[in-house]
Amino acid sequence: MVYAVALLGNLLLASAALAAPSSRLAARLERRRDGRQSQPINRLEPGVSKAGEVSNVQYSSNWAGAVFDNKSTGTFKSVTGTFVVPTPKAASGSSSGSASAWVGIDGDTCGNAILQTGVDFTVTNGKVSYDAWYEWYPDYAYDFSGITISAGDSITTTVTATSTKAGTAVITNNTTGKTVTKSLTSTYALCEENAEWIVEDYEEGSSLVTLANFGTVEFTGASAGLVAGGTLGPSTADTIDIEQNSKVLTSVTLGSSTVTVKYTGS
């Protein structure tokens, strides 16, 4: 009888362990349930930050990186960039935070649609997790399955518009050799006039998440494919920094094929 009770108890414990999702999966499901979503850029006054700086740098509450915003409709058909996955830390005064590195088409001067793909990096009470995702805004973001992301991995992100209402999102983990691809369609047409390499303070529900201290994210091999043929590097794109509560939280530098985004908050 004692043996039977013990056996039953062990079976119940095993069943509970199998049924309980991991903390990372639970957090991911909660984010998706709450509506994790990128947003078009929310620009502040051009050239003048609320922190008092006057420069050629543009400021936004949610995007940091490089954006082409002066091209005509039908210019861009693809964007690609490679970065090393950072280890995020909670910003001063917070126990959690998140940020997302991605590449995309549109979302600035054309705000009705964005084709994008990237990686979220999140820290919650010292525990770090990563999610690879794709999105055709205004729909929500969706996780890729079949790929794992770890700190220090080299990740290549690419989006390609095959038409204004169809395209692909591709993420390759160069460290593990795994590639995932998603074909997307939308009733919301791209303008194909913006190309960007971004670290974003994205939105859950109706508010921005707490921005994590992501250290430095450097996109290398950054280029945008042109509908007319050829490619364009980011060196002549607009530089965008995140500013929140009158404090600039990032510093961005551009090269011929690089976009470097550094967290400068406390």
Q: Residues with catalytic annotation?
A: 200
Q: Are 39 and 203 in contact (CB under 8 A)?
A: yes
Q: Are 176 and 198 in contact (CB under 8 A)?
A: no
3-state DSSP assignment of residue 90: coil
- Tell me the backbone φ, ψ of residue 212, rounded to 5 degrees: -80, 155
DSSP strands (E only) in the chain: 58-60, 63-68, 76-84, 96-105, 114-124, 127-137, 142-143, 154-163, 166-173, 178-185, 195-200, 203-204, 207-208, 216-226, 231-232, 238-244, 247-248, 250-254, 259-263
Token duo for residue 19: 């049924």
